[in-house]
Amino acid sequence: MLRNKSSELLMADKDVLLDLDYTGESHVPDYYGSLQNGGFIPPRYLAAAAEDDDDEEEDDEPIYIHCDKGGRQPSHPRGNYFRDGKTKIDFVLVWEVRSRRKRRSRQRGRDERAGQVEGGAEEASRSERRKALLARWRDKFTHNLQRAGLLLEKEETVSEKKTIHYLKLSAPWDVLVYYAEELCLRAPLQAQPNPDFNTSDQVLRKLCIPNFMAESVPNKPVDYYTCAFRKSKMEKFLGCENHDTYFTNTQRHRIVYEILARTLYGKRKWAEVGVERLLREGAYTAAFPLHEGPFELPGYEISPEELNQRQILFYYWARWSKWYKYQPLDHIREYFGEKIALYFAWLGFYTVWLLPAAVVGTGNS
């Protein structure tokens, strides 16, 4: 049984920037987008429609559907979901807008110190034009994300100094299927036994030496025989009838990021494409997926099998006391994906083989 004995683990999870249970300052969030977003438009049609670079982007504004502010607002659901409690959040875009009063007072103080009223007015005008341009880029980007089939929902946190906007993105089933085939994601065909094949552990057992590096990690992921995903062979894949859990969170994040990286927000001939450039230009403050569940252990006794993936990785891997243990690579792959798991597998292998060289070097010195 596990019990959380450290008071530090009771702190809020600072890694998750979007607090879906926020009940601090009073504000009425706006709803941008719709959970009933219409038919899916494949990206091949979107690319053809986005070729009109000579047209004015200002005319293409996002389709915003606002909620009824006078009615009763639904409560926040638990977990990474939209307000309906069913649509999963795959990605979050964040941008900040400072209050106009704060900007004016700051600019006035700047002008008084510099003694240049005309120059300050020019700089303020330039700053306002820049903010308007970033707003147009965001609107165009949001409009094209909707045309690509993503579901959108907006929330905002209002304070005296600034307003923080959160745009939650979700990929419906049709979008996931289309991009899974385009990106050649691996799909499970049949479960296979996943034995603990560990060469060093077998050698130590033959020599009757206790293996202090071994540790039993609960909820080991099932391994599958896989092949490239094909929509025409959907019925042959395991779990295809469950649309909510068929694609892993890592696969969903990858698909949504692929859409974000391809989406146009300006003119294609000027390479105004993708969320990465919008981040560099300052249109967005951050773009990130969300963690699944809390990482801290609860304050009561709990069975190891009841821990979520993040708690397992935190307790059995991401701790200084586990530096000499085998890494739970299957769990890392399940949560972070193959690339991250391969990186840590190589890092562990490289570090272990550096130890003999370090011992020899220390002895010679």
pLDDT for position 27? 39
Any domain includes 308: no
Give the tens place of pLDDT for each residue, 147-180: 999 999 999 999 888 999 999 999 999 999 999 9
pLDDT for position 115? 52
Q: How buried is residue 140: exposed, middle or buried, by Cβ count under 10 Å (0-12/13-18/19+)? A: buried
For the cut 50, the answer to whether the pLDDT of residue 17 exceeds it is no
Q: How far apart are CA 148 and CA 119, in angstroms?
A: 43
Mean pLDDT of the chain: 78
Q: How buried is residue 147: exposed, middle or buried, by Cβ count under 10 Å (0-12/13-18/19+)? A: buried
pLDDT for position 75? 52
Evaluate whether 251 touches 239 at the Cβ level (below 8 Å): no
pLDDT for position 18? 38
Any domain includes 357: no
Any domain includes 340: no
CA neighbor of 60 nearest in space, from 128, 121, 119, 138: 138
CA neighbor of 316 nearest in space, from 221, 215, 213: 215
Domain count along the chain: 1
Give the tens place of pLDDT for each residue, 69-127: 333 444 555 678 999 989 999 999 999 998 765 555 555 555 555 555 555 567 778 88
Any domain includes 146: yes
For the cut 80, the answer to whether the pLDDT of residue 241 exceeds it is yes
pLDDT for position 42? 40
Q: How far apart are CA 79 and CA 47, in angstroms?
A: 34
Q: Six-digit token pair at 190?
A: 């049949």
Any domain includes 138: yes
Any domain includes 199: no
Q: Six-digit token pair at 137?
A: 């880029």
pLDDT for position 60? 45
Most confidently modeled range among 48-57, 95-104, 262-271: 262-271
Evaluate whether 94 touches 166 at the Cβ level (below 8 Å): yes
pLDDT band for position 7 (cuts 50, 70, 90) = very low
Range of the domain at 143: 17-170+247-290
Any domain includes 41: yes
Q: Six-digit token pair at 132?
A: 């308007």
pLDDT for position 201? 82
Any domain includes 235: no
Evaluate whether 259 touches 148 at the Cβ level (below 8 Å): yes
Residue whose structure tokens are 């969170």: 249
**Collapsed DSSP state (helix, strand, coil) of residue 80:** coil
For the cut 90, the answer to whether the pLDDT of residue 51 exceeds it is no
Indicate the DSSP class of residue 156. E
